């Protein structure tokens, strides 16, 4: 894949002092970069549903589902899903959060690809994996646009295929 790192903007001290925020909006605005990234996130993997994690994960996961003929399932921040949910709480680089998935989002035996923009500490992805597994579905891989390798998020996803397209 082309190295699109130049389209990731570094924003110091956002959202808190000491955090170097990786802003993906320049990459999203570039058609060639955006489409290649969407193509690569699911390439060669077999799955029935794509999970996108609110909010930036939605931007990437929905087109991955569309292009691969899979369904899309949102994992949302707490209180946003209207029906019965499972929830998981976790810490991330600049705070903590709770995410939820609809308890009936998957068919028994569904193979699930989880997609998000950034793998940092891995807290968010770990919680999403737990949610999918609680429903009885199977996580086949976790794909990210970008990995912040100094935070070792991969270590929180043992035994899983972890795909990252850019590493910083
Ligand atoms: O690996 P971690 O340390 O868990 O961090 C990665 C998560 O942080 C960001 O989400 P954020 O909660 O900022 O939400 P947003 O997508 O709504 O901006 C990013 O989109 C990932 O989901
Ligand atoms: N440094 C960072 N930049 C962008 N998104 C993030 N999510 C967690 N850490 C992040």
Give the ligand 1 atom nearest the CA of 123.
Answer: 4
Instruction: Please identify every residue annotated as catalytic.
Output: 56, 93
Ligand 2 centroid, distance to 78 Cα (angstroms) = 19
Ligand 1 centroid, distance to 118 Cα (angstroms) = 7
Work out the percent of the chain whose per-residue pLDDT is above 90: 96
Domain definitions of the chain by residue range = 46-167
State residue 92's pLDDT score: 86
Prediction pTM value:
0.98
118 lines ligand 2 (CB under 6 A): yes
State residue 81's pLDDT score: 98
117 lines ligand 1 (CB under 6 A): yes
* Ligand number, closest to the Cα atom of 11: 2
* Ligand number, closest to the Cα atom of 95: 1
Residue 146 near residue 165, CB atoms below 8 Å: yes
Residue 163 near residue 139, CB atoms below 8 Å: no
Tens digits of per-residue pLDDT, 62-118? 999 999 999 999 999 999 999 999 999 999 888 899 999 999 999 999 999 999 999
- The alpha carbon of residue 107 and the mean position of all alpha carbons in its chain are separated, in whole angstroms, by 21
CATH number, domain 46-167? 3.40.50.2020
pLDDT-derived band of residue 133, with 50, 70 and 90 as boundaries?
very high
The strand pair at 138-147 and 49-53 is best described as unpaired
Say how far apart CA 4 and CA 45 lie, in whole Å.
22
């Amino acid at each position: 894949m082309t190295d699109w790192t130049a389209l990731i903007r570094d924003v110091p001290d956002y959202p808190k002092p000491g955090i170097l925020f990786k802003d993906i909006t320049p990459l999203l605005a570039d058609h060639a970069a955006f489409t290649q990234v969407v193509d690569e996130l699911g390439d060669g993997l077999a799955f029935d549903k794509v999970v996108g994690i609110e909010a930036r994960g939605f931007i990437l996961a929905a087109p991955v589902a569309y292009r691969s003929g899979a369904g899309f399932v949102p994992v949302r921040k707490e209180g946003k899903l209207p029906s019965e949910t499972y929830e998981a709480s976790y810490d991330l680089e600049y705070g903590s959060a709770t995410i939820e998935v609809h308890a009936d989002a998957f068919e028994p035996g569904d193979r699930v690809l989880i997609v998000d923009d950034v793998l940092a500490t891995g807290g968010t992805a770990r919680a999403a994996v737990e949610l999918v597994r609680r429903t009885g579905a199977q996580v086949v891989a976790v794909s990210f646009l970008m990995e912040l390798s100094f935070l070792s998020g991969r270590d929180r996803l043992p035994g899983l295929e972890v795909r990252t397209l850019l590493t910083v």
